[in-house]
Amino acid sequence: ASNLSPYESIGGADTISRLVDAFYPRVIAHPDLAPIFPTDITPVRDKQYLFLTQFFGGPPLYTKQYGHPMLRARHMPHQITKKRAQAWLSCMQQAMDEIGLQGEIREFMYSRLAMTAQHMVNQEDDEP
């Protein structure tokens, strides 16, 4: 029903967990993204699980553990170009495909992530 959050509509904790499990192997295998992520991706995967849970209307797990997300500020130590934002979003598209997330709810979630990814850009691409 339309009064459900995206989190609830897609199946809650289990689906968010499957999404981040499908996403990070692609991130660390992506030539544009690998250089800025740590070798041990598990802590990042776990934080993203907490964050996406609350971002899509589930319980505020990230804030409970780490405080206000301040996502742009937390990304400032990393060089995030438009090219990297595109790469991040393409990994997310593939992860959504892998777990079979489809339809209007997927489009809604993807558009929220795309807006956020654009907001993270903090550096010009090398080439114009």
Contacting positions for ligand HEM (CB under 6 A): 33, 36-38, 44, 47-48, 51, 55, 66, 71, 74-75, 78, 80, 84-85, 88, 113, 116-117, 120
The residue among 2 and 67 lying less far from ligand HEM, judged by its C-beta, is 67
- Report, in Å, the least distance between residue 21 CB and ligand HEM: 16
58, 16 contact by CB (below 8 A): yes
CB of 103 to ligand HEM, least distance (A): 20
Per the CB < 8 A criterion, the answer to whether 83 and 30 are in contact is no
Q: What angle do CA 80, 10, 71 make, to 5 degrees?
A: 25
CB 37 within 8 A of CB 45: no
- Smallest distance, ligand HEM to C-beta of residue 97, A: 18
